Chain A
Amino acid sequence: MSQTNISYKQPLLETPFHEKTREKCYAHDWYRWAGYKAVNQYTSTELEYTSMRNTAGVVDISPMHKYSVKGKDAKKFINKLITRDITNIQPHQVVYALWCNEDGFVVDDGTIFCFDENNFRICSGERNLNWFEDTAIGFDVTIEDISHSIAALAFQGPLSCKILHMLNANNIENLKPFCFDQFTINNQEITISRTGFSGDLGYELWCEPLQAHDVWDALFSFNKNYKILAAGLDALEMVRVEAGFIVVNADLMAAEHALRPNRMRTPYELGLAWMVNLDKEFFTGKEALIKQKNKGVEKKLIGLDVQGDKPALGSVLYNESKNEAIGIVTAAMWSPSLKSNIAMGYVDKQFMKLGSKVLAEIYHLEELEYRKIWAQCKVVKKQFITLERRNAVPALI
């Protein structure tokens, strides 16, 4: 990439896959992501979603922020940063992690790739360089923003492994979930990790910008029989809600962005208690999180099974007598795979238990008039969809 200066004076940057994505983007529906042009929708979101659940979808995720962390104290630094313990991490492993501020509020989440003891990579949704550098004071590490020098594709769906296998990615079916390795595809040596944002069998492909076109073309080379599709962010949003994954600044305000103190969330409030290891000697926010764990949370992010077929977008949640607002919906959709109306949202303490009943106040726009619907909702697990093929080893080929 020659152009890496992001400025209001120049148009949005183009990812290394841009020529390819533009070709396929009939809708010309672009979206601004970290200074880059990214596709919202190529042709039809539902179609792209269907490809991710039935064949495979290719999402250009190059704009994602990526940081290289190198040095003697790299592991120590990451252990101070995140709430999980990575003391026993092995090379070629990936860890999903959260990091919090001193009050235990989530700053951001991301995946951490371990190349070796002294060499890690952190991929995150928000900019974090400043936070990382301040955390790294006193540690022997060098942190570098490498967002612009790595091109990335998410390749998600039941056929993803089969196609990589047909592209002669050696032994790809035995790559375990949350692991990565080097593979050769179309004569290009690239990194493939078995990670993703779809809750399905899927991979993420990491390569140099110059390799981007070859990698893209390779994925589509069997399309005569397999019909994989390029998928936009709208489709990705659908699969992630089904999988129950959270998005920072959509389901919660990043602690560094929130202006109002009561808008920030702790891992416990997100239902991610399993990601906090309080036995670890120290990490930022530990003391506050111990306090919250003992005190319990006042509200929690949960899944909702919503009656009817109208998505409860932005709905306020009420108790059954409709006299008290007890929560809010952060993401909602009609799930084609589950054939049900699902949502994610926060509810107050007394409604956190699975099976609790709440009401969603839905305003459904029908030809320039709103229809108000009181939809019954049942509190369920956030992870709406669990697919065996996601974690199967060897993977489906």
Chain B
Amino acid sequence: MSKYDAIIIGGGHNGLVCASYLSKKGCKILILEKNENLGGLVNCASSLNGFSSKILDDLKIDLPKLNYNSYVVALHSDQQHTILQENNNKINFIKSNASGENQKKFSSLINKYKIYASTLSNFMYEVPPRLKSGNSKDTWQLINMGWKIRKLGKKNMREFLRVIGLNIADELEDNLSDNNLMGLLAHEAILGSNLGPRSPGSILSLLYRQAIQNGLFASEKYDFHQLIPSLEKICHNQGVEIKNNASVKKIITTNNQASGVILDNEEKIDAGIIISNADPKTTYFDLLGTEPLDTDFIRRAKNIRTKGNIAKLTITLKENPIIQNIDKEKMNAKFIYAPDINYIERAFNASKYNKYNENLCFEFHHCVNVIVANIYYVPHVKNNTHNKERLIQHSINLLKPFISNLEIEKAELLTPNEIEEKYNVTGGHWHHGDFEIDQMLMMRPFYGSAQYTTPIKNLYLCSAGTHPGGGITGINGRNAAKKIMRDKK
């Protein structure tokens, strides 16, 4: 008998959540984390707004609530910035050059999306149904999903089905005329996915992000520095063993059944169940190996779109930054620079061909004298051929027009390639795979591997690559744990 019921590969938030749920049911769990610190990509995230409150309740985690006035600033090169405030899911204009009509339309667009997103969010906590299984339970679940969409009402359902295939640029151009507002929404739609504003399905990507993070802009609700330590504490209390600096080399299978792992130092650990919190491509190609997988399956795994395009820039300034026309109290806002749709699309066009345009988009937060920015589109390139010095300089040049006292003490930049390397995420993709209609729900990560299961018995997935997807929500870990418990019965 092996010492552990299950091994979880990767101590990211989903791994920890999965371990918490499973150990609550009495499973003996071992978590293997490659890095020194737990948390994985959480360490890279600038906000944890999306972490599921249901999971916080389930696990009785009490995170200190932040009393933020959640401002969002859409920067404009003429320094006439648009300032919005998101309060209880309601968006108010604090300052904007947009006409009253534009503001009204903007609000009604957002309200429309809110309804659709709440329909989608119904599906988030369910293990999605299996297609073509012939099982009546799966069929019922599919019908139920259809019914939930039907419940939107005839008019809304039609509109919902119309927009999910649409690109965000078309929809915005139909409704708005203010470039800054259009850029702002387009930014939210494409951030994290390898899409441009004119890519089909970018509206769905926006709806989906709203559905998982429960709100349009990522406004801070909790002090997320406490999240990973809290999860770690729960795991410890429930007898979960955690091994840091333990990189898994291979998943061992016998007779098409997972039976253990081999670490980089050749140590072999057995367990009845292996749960991989690595992204699907890493799991299948590096950890498992393609030998026991069908060719069609390998094809689908190979073809999931996991090209990351966001670089993370952290700069320490000599003094607190000052932004023209922004008061001190609003300096804790989320700043976004995506001035208009065509600007974003041009940056995206270059990245499609693995080049980058100097005119990139970004969003940043600031805390005292540290600015943490997400710069996109910086494409993930083969062989890591980024010229980092130049990238840093370009990124700083982007910030310069807005921050009048930009005197830099230290600047650090993580390219998508470095994020890939550091956190073992294929392509350095935030969400382990684009949010697009063919990579969602029962198709996430791809047909044949959804529902947290794999073709290998007792090997499960719990990473952001599974339904409902990326963002820091923890739902993947919870759903995977539920599925595993159900299979065990």
- Give bound CA distance, A284 to B299, whole Å: 12
Which residues of chain A are within 8 angstroms of B292 by Cβ–Cβ distance? 282
Contact with A along B289-314 (1 / 0, CB 8 A): 11110111111001000000000000
Question: Chain B nearest CB: distance from A284 CB in Å?
Answer: 5
A299 at the interface (CB under 8 A from B): no
A134 at the interface (CB under 8 A from B): yes
Q: How large is the interface on B (under 10, 10 to 19, 20 to 34, 35 or more residues)?
A: 10 to 19
Q: Is the CB of A102 within 8 A of B296?
A: yes
Across the interface, B294 reaches (CB within 8 A) one of A76, A138, A139, A285, namely: A285
Question: Chain A nearest CB: distance from B469 CB in Å?
Answer: 25
Across the interface, B295 reaches (CB within 8 A) one of A76, A134, A287, namely: A134
| Best-buried of B297, B298, B448 by chain A (most CB within 10 Å) | B298
Question: Chain A nearest CB: distance from B403 CB in Å?
Answer: 47
Q: Is the CB of B295 within 8 A of A138?
A: no
Given contacts A80-B291, A138-B289, A139-B290, whether A101 and B296 have CB atoms under 8 Å apart is yes
- Give bound CA distance, A353 to B366, whole Å: 79
Which residues of chain B are within 8 angstroms of A139 by Cβ–Cβ distance? 290
Which residues of chain A are within 8 angstroms of B298 by Cβ–Cβ distance? 134-135, 137-138
Q: Is the CB of B289 within 8 A of A135?
A: no
User: Which residues of B435-457 are within 8 A (CB) of A?
Assistant: 448, 455
B285 at the interface (CB under 8 A from A): yes
- Give bound CA distance, A81 to B285, whole Å: 18
- Give bound CA distance, A101 to B285, whole Å: 19
Q: Is the CB of A102 within 8 A of B290?
A: no
Contact with A along B276-291 (1 / 0, CB 8 A): 0000000001000111
Q: Is the CB of A102 within 8 A of B289?
A: no
User: Which residues of A59-84 are within 8 A (CB) of B?
Assistant: 76, 80-81
Question: Chain A nearest CB: distance from B140 CB in Å?
Answer: 24
Which residues of chain B are within 8 angstroms of A138 by Cβ–Cβ distance? 285, 289-291, 298
- Give bound CA distance, A102 to B301, whole Å: 14
Question: Chain A nearest CB: distance from B352 CB in Å?
Answer: 23
Across the interface, B285 reaches (CB within 8 A) one of A80, A103, A137, namely: A137
A26 at the interface (CB under 8 A from B): no
Which residues of chain B are within 8 angstroms of A137 by Cβ–Cβ distance? 285, 290, 298, 302
Which residues of chain A are within 8 angstroms of B285 by Cβ–Cβ distance? 137-138
User: Which residues of A275-304 are within 8 A (CB) of B?
Assistant: 282, 284-285, 287
- Give bound CA distance, A108 to B262, whole Å: 37
A131 at the interface (CB under 8 A from B): yes
Given contacts A134-B302, A137-B285, A138-B285, whether A284 and B296 have CB atoms under 8 Å apart is yes
Across the interface, B299 reaches (CB within 8 A) one of A103, A134, A285, namely: A134
**Nearest opposing residue in chain A for B455, CB measure:** A287
Which residues of chain B are within 8 angstroms of A284 by Cβ–Cβ distance? 294-296
Given contacts A134-B302, A137-B285, A138-B285, whether A102 and B291 have CB atoms under 8 Å apart is no
**Nearest opposing residue in chain B for A131, CB measure:** B295
Question: Chain B nearest CB: distance from A301 CB in Å?
Answer: 24
Question: Chain A nearest CB: distance from B292 CB in Å?
Answer: 5
Q: Is the CB of B295 within 8 A of A101?
A: yes
- Give bound CA distance, A364 to B62, whole Å: 84
Which residues of chain A are within 8 angstroms of B291 by Cβ–Cβ distance? 76, 80, 138, 282
- Give bound CA distance, A168 to B289, whole Å: 50
Question: Chain B nearest CB: distance from A258 CB in Å?
Answer: 14
Some 5 contacts from A to B, beta carbons below 8 A apart, are A101-B294, A135-B298, A137-B298, A138-B289, A284-B296
Report, nearest first, the 10 A-B pairs whose CB atoms are least far apart: A138-B290, A102-B294, A102-B296, A135-B295, A284-B294, A284-B295, A134-B299, A137-B290, A282-B292, A101-B296
Chain A: residues with CB nearer than 8 A to chain B?
Answer: 76, 80-81, 101-103, 131, 134-135, 137-139, 282, 284-285, 287
6 more A-B residue pairs beyond the given contacts A135-B295, A137-B285, A285-B294, with a C-beta to C-beta distance below 8 A: A101-B296, A102-B295, A102-B296, A103-B296, A138-B290, A282-B256
